[in-house]
Amino acid sequence: MEYQRDEHRVHLILYHLVWTPKRRKAVLKDAIAVDCRRLIEQKCAEQGWEIVELAIQPDHIHLFVRVWPSVSAADVVKAVKGLTSHELRERYAVLRKLPSLWTRS
């Protein structure tokens, strides 16, 4: 991996983020997983974050992402979990049965 450079700094910031659906339900399958991947990729591209690796399993997600120093891990999680929860729960009735799509962790 190459370091990123701007006017005043040289950096290489990578976050490995893992999160699960509420109660670790295996709901990330088939069309839901495809839409979830598309939404995550869309949000990261919009923010200028580079996805190094994205693995969606039926009961959890691994996101390995490269960001700028001004972006915290909490910012990435908030943006991605917020968008995917809203869009997926709106589209798929099976996800509305859960009290929330993602765990708080």
Question: Phi and psi dihedrals of 10, rounded to 5?
Answer: -125, 130
Q: How many helices (H) and strands (E) does the chain have?
A: 3, 5
CATH number of the domain located at residue range(s) 4-97 in this protein: 3.30.70.1290
Alpha-carbon gap, residue 6 to 2, rounded angstroms: 13
List pLDDT tens digits, range 59-70: 999 999 999 999
Q: Where are the domains of the chain?
A: 4-97
pTM of the model: 0.91
- Taking only the tens place, the pLDDT of each residue in 25-59 is 999 999 999 999 999 999 999 999 999 999 999 99
